[in-house]
Amino acid sequence: MRAHLRTGLVLGCTAALLALFLRQANLGEVWLEMKRADPAGLLGALGMTGATYFLRSWRWRAMLRPIGHARLWTAFRTTVIGFAANALLPARAGEVLRPFLLARREGLSATATFATIILERLLDLATVLLFFGFFVVVADPRTTAADPVLFGSVKIGGMVTTAGSVLGLVAMFVVAGHPERLGNAARRVERVLPARLAHALGGAVERFAEGLAVTRRPGPLLEAAVLSFPLWLSIAMGIWFVARAFHITMSFAGSFLIMALLTVGVAVPTPGAVGGFHYAFRVGATAFFGAPAERAVGAAIVLHAIAFLPVTLLGLLFMVQDGLDLGRLRRLASDRRLGDEGGEGAGRRVSGPAEVARHGGGGAGA
């Protein structure tokens, strides 16, 4: 019942966001705007999408270095599979699958590898907010179509959220600095839980904190932080290319605002970020850059397709090559023993697709 209720809520949220996105938009005009888009700009955005996933893989490899060696090609393949799973499966399953699959292939702890995903997300948030802060500082509200009151609210919100991300980053450093203390603290819950369960929980928490070891290694941490800038600049460049292709008057710094809004939009748990992504782009393009509704709707549809369709298709190809399917990936994502298997699997390398599938729990795929 809970699963059906969650599915209903997700579908209802998706439908509501799509209704808002398409509200008062003439679909015939939207199609004409899409046909008038400059192909060169769209090709540029497609190229930026490819660069984004390469940079993500490179950065992730740097974050993994303190806990073990990971090949760049393996990091790339599992990153693509993970993002494809995010688009096709509920509850952001790819965020769990990506570290699990890489840990199996490279003989690392899945729990520690998963912790690097948390750090990755924090770096993403901090970088996006930094670019957003740059926009609100350098942008002149008179050069945008935004109401001055709205622009002032956005500026205040940007400052507050940027401060919050800095505090979160500091907290992550503190937690990672003493993984054994975190494990000991977790083991104290044995006062209210069975001792064996509490001890297992403490060990899992400690392994999780060990996955944040990159925060105690200046070299890999600096490399990951530096790579975050070209990574998100490539995303901003893709947004700007699409805006230019649709003849939306937007400075390159303006793409930082759209990028921040899209980050909020994709956080809404809808399948493939449908609805949230689109509505966020429409709001930004119309409220801040004066784009006509039909032009903003068309640009949002095309930008979403460029951002999600190529990685989804490539991810499906990699899944087929690795002997995986969506049914097996769904079971892998929901397996509560994921962290324990990763810990036991440390130092053990998966030799091929069949072994990956065998460790995934077997059974016919959906």
Render pLDDT for 256-285 as a digit per residue (tens, 0 to 9).
999 999 998 998 888 889 999 999 999 999
What is the C-alpha to C-alpha distance for residues 136 and 131, in angstroms, rounded to an integer? 9
What pLDDT was estimated at residue 145? 57
Residues of the chain with pLDDT under 70: 1-3, 140-151, 165, 168-169, 171-216, 335-366
SS3 for 335? coil
What pLDDT was estimated at residue 214? 63
What pLDDT was estimated at residue 101? 92
What pLDDT was estimated at residue 316? 94
What pLDDT was estimated at residue 180? 56
**Residue 191 has which token pair?**
């006062």
What pLDDT was estimated at residue 342? 39
What pLDDT was estimated at residue 178? 59
| Cβ 214 vs Cβ 45: under 8 Å | no
| Cβ 315 vs Cβ 97: under 8 Å | no
**Residue 336 has which token pair?**
């509560």
What pLDDT was estimated at residue 177? 59
Radius of gyration of the chain (CA): 22
Report the number of secondary-structure helices (H) and strands (E) in the chain: 16, 0
| Helical segments of 139-217, H only | 148-177, 179-187, 195-210
What pLDDT was estimated at residue 298? 97
What is the C-alpha to C-alpha distance for residues 144 and 124, in angstroms, rounded to an integer? 26
Terminal C-alpha separation, the chain: 21
Residue 351: exposure state from Cβ atoms within 10 A (0-12, 13-18, ≥19): exposed
CB contact burial 78-94 (16+ within 10 A = b; e otherwise): bbbbbbbbbbbbbeebb
> Any idea how long the chain is?
366
